[in-house]
Amino acid sequence: MAEQPSGPQSGVNRTAVSGTALALSGLVRRLSLRPDRTRLPAILRRLNDAAKSKVLSLQEYFVLAAKSLRFIFARPFYAQDVVQQMDEIGVQSLGIVLLTGLFTGMVLALQSSVQLKTFGATMYIGNLVSASMIRELGPVLAGLMVAGRVGSGIAAQLGSMRVTEQIDALNTLGTDPIKKLVTPRVVAALIMVPVLTIIDDFIGIIGGNIIAAFVVGLPSGQYWRTVWDQMASDGFTLRYIPNDFLQGLIKPFVFGALISVTACYFGLNTTGGTEGVGQSTTRTVVTSSILILVVDYFITQLLLSLLANG
């Protein structure tokens, strides 16, 4: 069966059905196991089409993700693009990550100090701030910030390339757009989002330190000792890696992949001119934000059950 041109097709409503699936469906139809599509009433046909197009989108999304990861190891390597993207994704997002982390840490410390005061347990502020930041708030908030900034940027860039036919030009000139555009962005995100998260965590804990010192009057030495105690108390994997770090680093790794693949998917599938670019950008930010929150839950659940038993 002729292989469909690789890469998402803009504005194309073609069902990318594999040869075996076609043969199977033909067989099913011939054996009259399922009525012919044209005999369905109109509303069922519309539901049928809508459901199929959703599944098709999902399929294309996973195909894009798989290809972009596979092409990390395929020639030609666009190393220059990777470095450029690392700058765009990582270095350019540093500012918002610092701000986010600092104020999140400060607010955490502030809120928790109120609660802990009633128990006379304000010395545990360090525990609380570090546990929350490293395990949850650091990864998720950094992820959401990056999804907003980087996700929209990638979607807009690839979307404009799509509507001005630059993606077609790449194909024409013999470059696989996934290798040149998607894979560098995915690799850069996989590297940079964990780095940004680490910075986010650290700044957050420093923010907590500021509040602990000035509002609660907790000595910094004590604060940092409790931070370290918290990390140690959750156990170690392989003797040296605190479990908190496992949670705190696996999550941004996954979020980075999610954000970049989603942004590239919506960008490459943009249709409809400049308005389409705007829509793709919005959809990217919304979808990747929701995905981050949902996947966060499942990763947490998975890791907690794994680490609790280990």
Partner 1 sequence: MLPGRRNAEPVARDSGKRPAAVRRAIRSELATDTPPGSAPSIPRRRDSIEPIVALEHVSLAFDRPILEDVSFTARESDTVVIVGESGTGKSTILKLLLRLLVPDRGRVLIDNQDITSLSFDEALEVRQRMGMVFQGAALFDSMTVFENVAYPLREHTDMNEDEIEQRVREKLQFVDLDPDLVMEQMPAELSGGMRKRVGIARGMANNPEIMLYDEPTSGLDPLTTNTITRLIMKLQRELNATSIVVSHDIRSVFRMATKVALLNNHRITFFGTPEEMTASEDEYIQDFLGGL
Q: Which residues bind partner 1 (CB under 8 A)?
A: 2-6, 9, 11-14, 160-161, 164-166, 168-176
Identity of the residue, 42 or 173, whose beta carbon is nearer to partner 1 in the bound complex: 173
Beta bridge partners, 242, equal: 236
Asked if 246 contacts 137 with a C-beta cutoff of 8 angstroms, the reply is no
Identity of the residue, 76 or 95, whose beta carbon is nearer to partner 1 in the bound complex: 76
Angle between helical axes of 183-211 and 243-268 (0-180°, round to 10): 130
Asked if 230 contacts 126 with a C-beta cutoff of 8 angstroms, the reply is yes
Alpha helices in the chain (DSSP H): 19-30, 42-70, 79-89, 94-119, 125-132, 138-146, 152-163, 166-172, 177, 183-211, 220-233, 243-268, 273-309
User: What's the closest the beta carbon of residue 84 comes to partner 1, in angstroms?
Assistant: 9
User: What's the closest the beta carbon of residue 202 comes to partner 1, in angstroms?
Assistant: 33
List C-alpha distances in Å: 143 to 52, 83, 115. Answer: 31, 20, 28
Query: What residue type is 14 in one-letter code?
Result: R
Identity of the residue, 15 or 233, whose beta carbon is nearer to partner 1 in the bound complex: 15
Query: What residue type is 104 in one-letter code?
Result: T
User: What's the closest the beta carbon of residue 170 comes to partner 1, in angstroms?
Assistant: 8
Q: What is the DSSP letter of 77?
A: P
Identity of the residue, 160 or 222, whose beta carbon is nearer to partner 1 in the bound complex: 160
Identity of the residue, 180 or 234, whose beta carbon is nearer to partner 1 in the bound complex: 180
Cβ neighbors of 299 (< 8 A, separation 6 or more) are 247, 250, 251, 254
Among positive and negative, which fits the CA dihedral 281, 283, 285, 287?
negative
User: What's the closest the beta carbon of residue 23 comes to partner 1, in angstroms?
Assistant: 17
Identity of the residue, 11 or 219, whose beta carbon is nearer to partner 1 in the bound complex: 11
